[in-house]
Structure 1
Amino acid sequence: MKKLSIFASLFMLLAIFTASTASACTNYLVTRGASADGSNMITYAADSHVLYGELYFRPAADWAEGTMIDVYEWDTGKYLGQIPQVAHTYSVVGNMNEFQLAIGETTWGGVEQLGSQEGALIDYGSLIYLTLQRAKSAREAIKVMTELVETYGYYSSGESFSISDKDEVWILEMIGKGNGEKGAVWAARMIPDGYVSGHANHARITQFPLEGKTSISSDKMDKIFNPEIVNVYAKDMISFAKEKGLYPKDGKNKNFSFSDSYGPVDFGGARYCEMRVWTFFNRVSKDMDKHFDYAKGNIKLDKKGYATNRMPLWIKPDHKVELSELKDAMRDHLEGTELDMSKDMGAGPYGNPYRWRPLTWEVDGVTYCNERATATQQTGFSFVAQSRNWLPDAVGGINWFGVDDAASTVYFPMYCSATRVPKSFAVGNGKMMDFTNKSAFWVFNQVTNFAYTRYSEIHPEIRAKQVELEAKYQNFTKIIDMAAEGMFKADKAAAIEFLTDFSCNQGDNLTNEWREFYGYLFAKFMDGNIKTKDGNKQNPKMRQPGYSEKWKRAVANDTGDQLKVKGASH
């Protein structure tokens, strides 16, 4: 049988995550009835300190019978084995395929005894990209994903997946069965239209209906394409938990909670993970104050050990969510809350809402934590996937893509039908330890890391530029949509080439503009000064803002008389 070497090489290129990824990703989910323009949207931030941000591309292809795929673990590059290829695979740009299907993820680990499975061939990263190449809809994706792990074993620990297409948005949560058994237990729920959801490194599916016309177990997967079905779960989801002592043997099935059994919430699960979901919910609903105590890590448990004060899996927003609003949700640093990272002394003299890792630290034997906000310095790439059912698939799907810290990135439009990606975002253009100013990842990191030095002074300039460019792109796509839709009816291939050219041009132009922007910022803020041009004069205007009053008082208190200016003694 033939070995699929091209696919294997691609997976080697993608094997750039480390275990640090497994504790740091954020997904927000918006159904079309909850969005301002009627599109389904999901977000994803791929956060890892050693993840090199680039835009993956897999062209559609036909494969000879007997072709095999080499599978490598996404986090480490470890070779796991081979599985058969299907006859035809679909084109995939990033985490979105040509049919507007998009998949994101967050890792939550779960109970330790289920964290590894010897001999398993499918890890969560491979599961995402194999599925995007094989499924056309969210329901088909759930079927493909669960069948893959049942057939070949599940190599990863607990994982939540966001799955969206042009009509529906689903959340699928999965954990392996540990050594000795193949496969995984899982549960999937469709987000009701008009609602929003989210997950951020913690399992969130609790109790849900197990019977009736809306729910099926995995032994009835042939019914998953029935639109009335909105809950699907592994047939042994509860019996396996009872067997492993994760749920009482005499516990009633109707009271079973997937998350509380397979991934019980603790202080860290709430404070570092659920807090990120809370910030999104809080942006779109005025009813979230009642859940803030839980999000801060104050967990209340019942006799079973289940948390009794958890947030709902989904909420109905107070207003229709704009695309720009969802992008900004990915940029949150807990602003407007008592945990605002820019306000305490850890922010330094310039209100920097970031804390360098590790996440926890000790003083005099007492453990403290840094907040884990949605926007974080270690993001490799992030996206907002937008699927629109009133347009042809080639036009309707846009992967709004950005590299580096979401708070300072710019999301540019990448149409899902594109047959290539911008050179500055392409796989192989630079590496984590190989700098090149031709790479979007490095260009954006230059700007972002410069801003970290004097955040309150420099970031407002980034924000203004970000708003300007993203507004321009959204206006552009309105025109491109109309033009491409018209072209699509006459010449599909020409329309796809048109969309590809547009997407690639926007990405590469963005990198060039951001490179020049870095030069502007560096000249303006160099050496602790703020300089601006003064007409045609040789020397610029200059001001020296110094430090904040809060910081000056802190330094004065810390140094006592050491820095005090004194008069002459007599």
Structure 2
Amino acid sequence: MKKLIISIILLAGSSILLACTNFLVTKGASTDGSTFITYSADSHVLYGELYYTPAANCLPGTQLEVYEWDTGKYLGNIKQVERTYSVIGNINEYQVSIGETTYGGRKELKDPKAIMDYGSLMYIALQRSKTAREAIQVMTELVAEYGYYSSGESFSIADPDEAWIMEMIGKGPENKGAVWVARKIPDGYISGHANQARIGTFPLNDPDNCLYADDVISFAREKGYFEGKDRDFHFANAYAPLDFGALRFCEARVYAMFNRAAPSLNLPEQYVMGDIQAEPLPLWIKPDKKLSVHDVMSFMRDHFEGTGMDMTKDIGAGPYELPYRWRPLTWEVDGVTYCNERATSTQQTGFSFVAQSRSHLPNAIGGVLWFGVDDTYSTVYVPIYCGNREAPFAFRVGNGSFTEFTWDSAFWVFNFVSNYAYLRYKDMIAEVQKVQNQLEGSFLARQPEVEKAALALYKQAPELARDYLTDYSARQTQLTMKRWKKLGEHLIFKFLDGNVKDELGQVKHPGYPKSWYQRVIDQHGDVIKMKKVGEESH
């Protein structure tokens, strides 16, 4: 999560619950040879914004202060390198992108004296890496030298040619550093992770496709987490044993993506419903068809529709099929604990993105961060190129905050629309998606001509292309803000006070769905049934 301002730290208390979703797509699994990673940064106290760090030359001996990304807590200083690369959001000028999800793992392995938290690892690696492999090297060398402060973490790391998943956990307060495994997703395949460690057994002699800490197995033996032969070592079982929540709240989101990308596999649902004895999900699968950027965006918009966990179908969805459940995630009645589903699309998303990297284009043009704020189902993914010189104003750091509403902030404008739409969801989400599809459709349709123009400028001078794309992203963000404010005004006009206005502005009273009336009758019918009184009874 983004480093939070002090007022948010006070608001949130001593702990911030993290819950994110990542999907990874290799170039051989995409329609145009792109690699993709996705990321939803979900937190009830996260302000969605897009930060920008320019490239810099630093003097030898310069120190870099490290602050925990979640809380802003100062952790210590590390040595700065002499040259850093520009980073916008979670993609750098070389099209390297990084995302994460927190799985936690064994609590005794946190090191409160360490300096490198997971968020700082991501953004420092982006400033120092030209490839995904180099990012892995930077991240693992940093934790070896300065220690790993956070709990267990899964990272998605991609460049124009490769996509990797790396899982890491600390070694406790008595042992500096971290144990970790990184696996390259085979070309033509897709993967995902969602707050549960997913790497199991791994090849011990295949450095082209698998990298790992020298002591990842021996340390587990030392701690009593594993007994057996090296070839049978299972990272997730050793460092992040499964429980019901890991299956139902975490693996279920990966299942939803796999199920949509490859329905032909008929992946069994029992495992993610909480049956630990059922067949587990594979680390990666081959999709039934190659995936476009639009397909990947759609995977980020999911409430388990069409599965046994479909959030639009149970009574909790109310009369208008609202696929959201307000927290807490679990609750108890008469000594029995129940749960709400935890879908990819969730109300507390601060920001999300689809990072697209392409090897057939110059870096400044090939890397696109399709960036949005708030709930993934009702956001708009705006193209932000990796060579851009600044963040668009509506997304910019310092434009509003979690405790300061402003109509200039995309985060607040999108929350205004989505939170109103939750009131009569089935009807209003159709209006939201209409504008969403128009905007994203226009961005995708224009992408070839925009990049053709940028390429012509790049051949004259790369800086001209960067200026052009920076301006393009700013204008599309302004357009999106304008349309979204008008959408909010339209929704309030059309659905004011529980009514619905038709095309002529005439007020209609459509009532509730018949299925909902039947539920009301079944529970409360005897109380509200109308009776004949007086002359009506004759």
When normalised by structure 2's length, the TM-score is 0.96
Identity of aligned residues (%): 55
Are 2:254 and 1:254 equivalent residues in the alignment?
no
Q: Secondary structure at the match of 2:75?
A: strand
What displacement does 1:291 show? Answer: 3.0
Q: Secondary structure at the match of 1:414?
A: strand
Distance 2:15 2:324 in 1: 17
Per-residue CA deviations over 1:468-520 (Å, capped at 9, x if unaligned) read 11110011221111111111111111111001100111112211221111111
Q: Which residue of 1 aligns with 2:329?
A: 359
Counterparts of 1:347-386 in structure 2, within 5 Å, are 347-386=317-356
Paired letter, 2:498: G
Distance 1:206 1:179 in 2: 25
Paired letter, 2:252: M
Are 2:419 and 1:449 equivalent residues in the alignment?
yes
Are 2:244 and 1:245 equivalent residues in the alignment?
no
Per-residue CA deviations over 1:300-345 (Å, capped at 9, x if unaligned) read 1xxxxxxx72111000111001211111111100001121101110
| Equivalent pair of 1:15/1:75 in contact (CA under 8 Å) | no
| Equivalent pair of 1:174/1:185 in contact (CA under 8 Å) | yes
What displacement does 1:551 show? Answer: 1.6
Are 2:214 and 1:235 equivalent residues in the alignment?
yes
Distance 1:21 1:318 in 2: 38
Counterparts of 1:52-451 in structure 2, within 5 Å, are 52-114=47-109, 116-211=110-205, 214-215=206-207, 229-248=208-227, 251-300=228-277, 309-451=279-421
Counterparts of 1:451-466 in structure 2, within 5 Å, are 451-466=421-436
Q: Secondary structure at the match of 1:175?
A: strand
Distance 1:88 1:263 in 2: 37
Q: How many residues align?
A: 531
Distance 2:422 2:304 in 1: 17
| Equivalent pair of 1:294/1:310 in contact (CA under 8 Å) | yes
Output the aligned Cα RMSD: 1.6
| Equivalent pair of 2:8/2:403 in contact (CA under 8 Å) | no
What displacement does 1:13 show? Answer: 5.2
| Equivalent pair of 2:5/2:71 in contact (CA under 8 Å) | no
Distance 2:514 2:462 in 1: 62
Distance 2:130 2:24 in 1: 19
Distance 2:4 2:165 in 1: 28
Distance 1:21 1:411 in 2: 26
Query: In the superposition, relative to structure 1, how do residues 265 and 369 fare at CA in structure 2: closer, same or farther (>3 Å)?
Result: same
Paired letter, 1:559: H
Per-residue CA deviations over 1:431-470 (Å, capped at 9, x if unaligned) read 1111111100000000000010000110011111111111
Distance 2:264 2:276 in 1: 19
Query: In the superposition, relative to structure 1, how do residues 490 and 290 fare at CA in structure 2: closer, same or farther (>3 Å)?
Result: closer
Aligned partner of 1:556 among 513, 516, 521: 521
Q: Which residue of 1 aligns with 2:510?
A: 545
Query: In the superposition, relative to structure 1, how do residues 36 and 165 fare at CA in structure 2: closer, same or farther (>3 Å)?
Result: same
Are 2:532 and 1:567 equivalent residues in the alignment?
yes
Distance 2:133 2:312 in 1: 42
Query: In the superposition, relative to structure 1, how do residues 420 and 432 fare at CA in structure 2: closer, same or farther (>3 Å)?
Result: same
Distance 2:172 2:335 in 1: 35
Per-residue CA deviations over 1:32-76 (Å, capped at 9, x if unaligned) read 100111100000000000100000110111111222111111111
| Equivalent pair of 2:184/2:210 in contact (CA under 8 Å) | yes
Query: In the superposition, relative to structure 1, how do residues 207 and 262 fare at CA in structure 2: closer, same or farther (>3 Å)?
Result: same
| Equivalent pair of 1:274/1:295 in contact (CA under 8 Å) | yes
Paired letter, 2:478: D
Distance 1:337 1:461 in 2: 25
| Equivalent pair of 2:3/2:71 in contact (CA under 8 Å) | no
What displacement does 1:12 show? Answer: 6.2
Distance 2:49 2:99 in 1: 15
Are 2:434 and 1:470 equivalent residues in the alignment?
no
Distance 1:498 1:15 in 2: 37
Paired letter, 2:93: E
Q: Which residue of 2 aligns with 1:42?
A: 37
Q: Which deviates more from structure 2 when the two are superposed, residues 455-464 or residues 550-559?
A: 550-559
What displacement does 1:156 show? Answer: 0.3
| Equivalent pair of 1:57/1:94 in contact (CA under 8 Å) | yes
Q: Which residue of 2 aligns with 1:303?
A: none
Gaps of at least 5 residues in structure 1 are 1-9, 216-228, 301-307, 535-539
Distance 1:154 1:171 in 2: 18
Q: Secondary structure at the match of 2:263?
A: coil
Q: Which residue of 2 aligns with 1:3?
A: none
What displacement does 1:16 show? Answer: 6.0
Paired letter, 1:550: S
Q: Which deviates more from structure 2 when the two are superposed, residues 544-553 or residues 126-135?
A: 544-553
Counterparts of 1:10-49 in structure 2, within 5 Å, are 22-49=17-44
Q: Which residue of 1 aligns with 2:466?
A: 496
When normalised by structure 1's length, the TM-score is 0.91
Per-residue CA deviations over 1:348-404 (Å, capped at 9, x if unaligned) read 111100000000011111110000000000000000000000000000000000000
Q: Secondary structure at the match of 1:515?
A: helix
